[in-house]
Amino acid sequence: MARIGFGARLALASVLGPGMTPEPPAPAIGPDLDARGRALANRGGVLVRRARVRLAVVTLPELWAFLAVALPVLASLIAPLPTVDLAYQLRAGAGILGGGGIPAVDSWTFTAAGERWLDQQWGAQTILQAVYAVSGWSGLAILRAALVGLIFGLLYAAIRRRNPALDMRRAAWLTLAAFIVAAPALALRPQLLGMVAFAASLFVLADRHDHPERLWFLPAIALAWANVHGSFVLAPVLVALAWLEDREGHVSTRPRLLLILAAVLLATLVNPFGLGAWTYASGLAASREVTGRISEWQPTTFRDAQGIVFWGSVAAVVVFLARRRATAPLAALAALGAFALLGAWAVRGIAWWPLVAAVVVAGLVIAPVEAPRVRRGSPLNGAMVAALAAAGVLLLPIWRAVDPGTGAPAGLLAQAPSAITARLRDLATPADRVWNPQAWGSWFEFAVPTPRYAVDSRIEIFPATTWQLTDLLDASTPRGTEMLARFGVTIVVVSGTDNPLERALAADSTWRATHRDRDGSIWIRTDR
């Protein structure tokens, strides 16, 4: 029988007469809503209880999957934040967000004032500064941990997609091995955002046969990547290697990958500089000043732990390939060879090698066929998960006392001399010109922005004469100290103690020490 609305029933009652007036209907939503609420509450309680059980009883494969992400996150919370690149990125980001626009020329130094500055990393600078403005240095430390977790979470997922037969434990081992090799490259700077884009691209490409529609995420990733870091040039390389693999395997996604490759290339041009971003990236790698003075742009050797770990990982992959019964596909060898050469060419290139190597090796592993079996959880595994989660909370820098010199949690920042910064903040005026160690330049520009400085981490913008003067001062030659007066330098910051420059300044009556500590010293001109 059709239901009649309450208004219509009233009208009908007026025709039928008194006594036939229907009673107003009870609100339909009242009891039903209460019942639904109780059902949802009961269901929520069941889900919470199940979650507690799952957390309390974790299987060993699940524990390995958790460790693949949790251990890199914990390690990133322990490590300090280097300011060599980060600090000037924050200052640039503050200018952009403050309405100043993307900087086009240098205005922070006196040796490169007015020189063109192609700030390709402007997108990363705004992200970093936005986080800093809201949550300070602790927020940046947490951001780095989150980005590191995202990178290796995506890598773990890419490994599993690449070879679904590979068990969770082996996938976790590959992920953790990649983390060990890449660890020195995980400082908080624009490159870390580039590594997130790189890992996301690896995941999409590893999953392309099951979900080809997701390939259209790659142009979007490339567009964002081209506005945060110069490593965006690797985006089309990854797509080209995937196309080569599909061509070798006669897979039907080849035509689509060519279209995706074209879209990725076009997406990299969607930035404020167009082709200039490509020119910047290639010019940086070809600059003699950059490759000659910055250690991470120099070839990777056995002279330090990072080089030893890198070459050890390359050797391990070579041994793995040699022990395989079948010859590795050409595309796999091309990918491994290309990124191994990139890591060998420059220390900075190591960052990409372990991520590619882990995914490629995962695809070449012949996983044994195991009969399905029920995995039983263990309270001990759950306790380990809980302990690591608690350790992560305890390692947060928010619990530390604040260093008055840096304004950051004590011990969090590297390359940020606290007492020297505090003294320089008291001394410096807008009229001062400060000669500073290059490694501290970015930090001083951020922490004490009042004066102008000599050099910072933007190596590519400084003329060769600036670096020649730096060499003269480091060698403490008479010509070097004379050039200080010619440049109008009024304050000199010296790193370390009892070095040639400090001795030269001490012997010159025109300079007077105003601060000394274990990090270094500050000297001012007596006629300042």
**pLDDT tens per residue across span 22-75:** 444 444 445 554 555 555 545 555 444 454 455 557 898 899 999 999 999 999
CA distance 438 to 454: 8
Q: What pLDDT is attached to residue 91?
A: 98
Q: Tens of pLDDT along 230-266?
A: 999 999 999 999 999 999 988 877 778 999 999 999 9
- C-alpha triplet 383, 385, 389: angle, nearest 5°: 115
Q: What pLDDT is attached to residue 450?
A: 96
pLDDT for 215 beyond 60:
yes
Share of the chain above pLDDT 70, in %: 87
Burial of 364 (0-12, 13-18, 19+ CB in 10 A): middle
pLDDT for 310 beyond 70:
yes
pLDDT for 1 beyond 70:
no
Q: What pLDDT is attached to residue 163?
A: 94
CA distance 445 to 98: 17
Q: Tens of pLDDT along 112-121?
A: 999 999 999 9
What lies within 8 Å, CB to CB, of 219 at 6+ separation is: 260, 263, 264, 266, 267
Q: What pLDDT is attached to residue 84?
A: 95
Q: What pLDDT is attached to residue 507?
A: 87
Could you say which DSSP state residue 507 is in?
T
Q: What is the pTM of this model?
A: 0.87
CA distance 7 to 115: 79
CA distance 61 to 457: 44
Higher-pLDDT residue of 214 and 325 is: 214
CA distance 416 to 273: 32
Q: Tens of pLDDT along 337-388?
A: 999 999 999 999 999 999 999 999 999 997 665 555 656 778 899 899 999 9
Q: What pLDDT is attached to residue 66?
A: 96
Q: What is the rounded average pLDDT of the residues 392-421?
A: 96
Token digits of residue 438: 């290059």
Rounded to 5 degrees, φ, ψ at 3 are: -85, 140
Higher-pLDDT residue of 351 and 5 is: 351
Q: Tens of pLDDT along 95-107?
A: 999 999 999 999 9
**Is 55 within 8 Å of 158 (Cβ atoms)?**
no
**Is 253 within 8 Å of 246 (Cβ atoms)?**
yes
What lies within 8 Å, CB to CB, of 73 at 6+ separation is: 145, 146, 148, 149, 392
Q: Where are the alpha helices (DSSP H) in 111-167?
A: 122-162
Q: What pLDDT is attached to residue 504?
A: 87
pLDDT band per the 50, 70, 90 thresholds, residue 477: low
Write the DSSP assignment of 247-303 as a string of letters: HHHT-TTHHHHHHHHHHHHHHTT-STTTTHHHHHHHHHHH-HHHHHH-GGGSPP-TT
Computed over every residue of the chain, the mean pLDDT equals 88
